[in-house]
Structure 1
Amino acid sequence: MMKRTIAVTAVAGAAVLAAQLPASAGSSTALLRLRAGLTLEIPNSWRVYGTADQIRVVTGACARPEGGYFQPRCDSFWVMGPKTLKRGGEGFRRYDPTQGPYYPASDVQRCLAYPKYGQVMGKAVVVGYRNVGVAHRAHYRVWPGRCVSYSSSEQKSTFNQREWYLPQSKILVVDQWATPGLATILKNAVWDD
């Protein structure tokens, strides 16, 4: 049974977004091929935007799917590569999961669900490892986020930023929308190695 395939592969450091192949009747999933031989089986209703080094997978409503990382009101998760990670830590320093969450900014950014508020990240509340496919362990962190008033700093809402970081392949998956099924999709990933 041929499944619709969305292929994103790295070729000598450049991105190639391959055409979507036709889905067979009744197919509910597609294959998302990422850098370093990583393949995820995702619902075929999800849409993929970006380049090999910064991919947004839109999983629901999204006003501007091609917007940047802090684009509000876009149900999605991100897959980041090594170039993006060089400036992925707070203050645009190199991303390091032991030093803080993925936060490529030096100031308070808009809260994704409530853009009139700012987001403030706390210390990781879950620290450990999770498998991404067989024999590939990711550093796993859950960072609590708060949406606060810019004027009073009063907390208006909360969210969690989940991160899976694969240091050998330099892949980071960032999810701020509690994407249903994402943990299972990553656990069941397939690698070409």
Structure 2
Amino acid sequence: MIVNLALSAALALTGVSTGTATKTVSFRGFSIQVPATWKVEKDPVGNLYVSTGSCPKNALQCAGFSIGGPGDIKTAYEGGPYRPNEPYHPGSDIGYCPPDKRYAIDQPPARPAKAGGAPFGTGHKARFAEWRLRCMTVTGKATSITYTQRIWYLAAEKVIVVDEWKTPGLAKILGKAVWR
């Protein structure tokens, strides 16, 4: 009974429904609780991609978000370091549109739609930016396809979280991160 009560309290604190089975995802000194159905993949340099389950037919990859460290920050904008006043775009070539890889990413707006601080566990605050981006054909014609890129950046901790799928509950999950 006490164990069940403690588990329910812990899950409630993470922002994940207590009726949902969860698992722990750990990275560079913090842990978050995500639904057990989400898949976590590690790349060769140790960064993570958390797939939330949906894999749209023409999407660049399954819906989800990435959690990166120093390497992702070092090459986060046109092959150079992350710039908080720019969307996350690590390649120096045309970026493909996450919801539909047949299209490219159009020029970003001059400013993010939202920007400021966001909680990232007790005692930590991320620099947050939300970009509303449009996709275009490879010949430069506008399309009706848009998506939102959300970025949580912790400079001192060398952590960047990039979500291009508006993952439901992600801000709350990150806000409840537990740091060692």
- Output aligned runs, 1:1-193, within 5 Å: 1=3, 28-35=21-28, 37-51=29-43, 53-62=46-55, 72-89=60-77, 91-98=78-85, 100-120=86-106, 121-122=108-109, 123-192=111-180
Runs of 4+ that moved beyond 4 A: none
CA distance in 1, matches of 2:149, 2:134: 10
Deviations 1:40-62 (A, max 9, x none): 01000011111464210010134
CA distance in 2, matches of 1:181, 1:27: 13
Question: 2:12 — aligned with what?
Answer: none
TM-score where L is the length of structure 2: 0.81
* CA contact 1:140–1:165 (8 Å) conserved in 2: yes
Question: 2:13 — aligned with what?
Answer: none
Deviations 1:54-104 (A, max 9, x none): 2100101348xxxxxxx7041110001002211111x20111213x12101
- SS in structure 1 at match of 2:63: strand
CA distance in 2, matches of 1:80, 1:181: 19
Q: 1:76 to 1:27 in 2, by over 3 A?
A: closer
* CA contact 1:53–1:82 (8 Å) conserved in 2: no
CA distance in 2, matches of 1:72, 1:95: 22
Which gives a bigger RCO, structure 1 or 2 (Cα 8 Å, sep 6+)? 2
Q: 1:56 to 1:154 in 2, by over 3 A?
A: same
For the aligned residues, what is the CA RMSD? 2.0
Contiguous gaps of at least 5 residues in structure 2: 8-18
Q: CA deviation at 1:119?
A: 1.2
Aligned AA (2:93): D
Q: Is the helix fraction higher in 1 or 2?
A: 2
Deviations 1:133-158 (A, max 9, x none): 11101000001111112224222211
Contiguous gaps of at least 5 residues in structure 1: 4-25, 64-70
TM-score where L is the length of structure 1: 0.76
CA distance in 2, matches of 1:152, 1:87: 25
CA distance in 1, matches of 2:119, 2:100: 32
